[in-house]
Amino acid sequence: MLFVASLFIPLIGAGLHWDPVPSSENRAMARLPGKPKTFQQVERFSDLLLTYYRDHFGFRNTLIRGLSLAKFHGGLAVDQSTGIIIGKEGWLFFPSRARDVLADRNLDPFTAAELDGWQQMLERRYRFCAQHGIRFVIVIPPNTQTVYSEFLPESYSILGPKSRLDQLIDRLAATNSPVHIVDLRPILKEAKKHRRIYFKTDTHWNDYGAYAAYPVILNAISSVLPGVKMTPQPLSDFIPETSIHSGDLGRFLNLYYEYQEDWPKLVRRIPYPQVGYSEITKGSDPHAPSLYVVHDSFTRYLYQFLGPHFSRVSWQWSLPMSGEDVLRFKPDVVLDEFVERSLYVPVPIDSPDVLAVQPR
């Protein structure tokens, strides 16, 4: 009788929401389908209901965490279901695909066609902006593996002589491209000698890493604006805080208690607005230059550093660039930011007006 009753626990638990462990999945869970009203909805109803049940059966999160704990205590070097690499001294590293592991080790270089595609995309963006009197700056934050390679397992160490980022920078220089990439690796490798600048359990740099990169980025923007010289805010303008919790990689592994770390934070003494996925902020000086930022999640840590220097900033969380949006905002400068691992995926497809520009 107990065995038979146990078979119904997941079903009953789905209806009563039995699960003491919160979900750690970074996605929208399936919703309970409504009552079908058409024949097509009737046909799909069982599939939708099964999808909902798979996401919500009783003790689902508990079982997933239990499996994660078994893997953790088994001492695996990589989690096969997520691709997350278990590094030394509590460091976690994330290649999103199996091929990325080779790219991280400099063993999967660009093909000539791939390199052409990236160069042409960047030159189109540059020339589109130039045609409308807008300056253009590119910044590529390095992967955690690039800055903290010493904490990778020996079986994932860097072997090849050049990374894809090296290839792209060399190609742009060799072809006298008007595009210049702000290479943050030297300043970040120097900054890490003084304090930890990336999270151990997360895919991003921390506030200190962003602050180390910020003067270099600000200087690059100043250099393309004639007669403009912007001075970085001193570290004393920010209040250091710290807490202890786990980053996105620890949560993806369902090991948010096992993988925790000191979480440093810099809080601006004069608060800067919180920024969403697509938002415009304004600075205190209406005569300062305006900035349009095409970015990924790394720029979240730059908001309070870069934002106050500009009269207006349009923050656009996107890999493709929309020429129409840029022209509607009419910035003085476009800052194009994407993390190094973006070079492992296909070239982003920009809006038709940008694609129509000849790269050369």
181 close to 138: Cβ distance less than 8 angstroms: yes
pLDDT, position 84:
86
User: Are residue 122 and residue 199 in the same domain, yes or no?
Assistant: yes
**Same domain for 237 and 133?**
yes
Whether residue 81 is contained in a domain is answered as: no
d(CA 114, CA 108): 12
Domain boundary among 32, 49, 74: 74
Query: Is residue 102 in a domain?
Result: yes
Q: Are residues 223 and 316 in the same domain?
A: yes
Q: Do 140 and 207 belong to one domain?
A: yes
One domain, residues 57 and 99? no
Together in a domain, 61 and 162: no
Q: Are residues 226 and 163 in the same domain?
A: yes
pLDDT in tens, 293-311: 999 999 999 999 999 999 9
Asked if residue 6 belongs to a domain, the reply is: yes
Q: Which domain holds residue 58?
A: 2-74
Q: Is the dihedral of CA 57, 62, 65, 70 positive or negative?
A: negative
Cα separation, 244 vs 275, whole angstroms? 24
337 belongs to a structural domain: yes
Assess if residue 84 is contained within a domain: no
Token couple for 350: 């920009």
Are residues 192 and 54 located together in one domain of the fold? no
Task: Evaluate whether 69 touches 77 at the Cβ level (below 8 Å).
Answer: no
Here the tokens at position 307 are 């934002």
pLDDT computed for residue 31 by the predictor: 79
- Residue 143 confidence (pLDDT): 96
Q: What does the pLDDT read at residue 78?
A: 55
Does residue 135 form part of some domain? yes
| E runs forming strands in the chain | 85-86, 92-93, 135-140, 181-183, 238-245, 261-268, 278-282, 290-295, 312-317, 333-337
Q: Is residue 49 part of a domain?
A: yes
* Ranges of residues in the chain whose predicted pLDDT is under 50: none
pLDDT of residue 69: 60
Q: Which of 209, 103, 99, 97 is nearest to 148 (CA)?
A: 209
Same domain, 40 and 182: no
- The count of domains in the chain is 2
Q: Are residues 16 and 119 in the same domain?
A: no
Domain finish residue from 48, 74, 100: 74
82 in any annotated domain: no
Supply the pTM of this predicted model. Answer: 0.81
Q: How large is the angle between the packed helices 9-16 and 39-56, nearest 10 degrees?
A: 100
Q: What is the pLDDT of residue 7?
A: 75
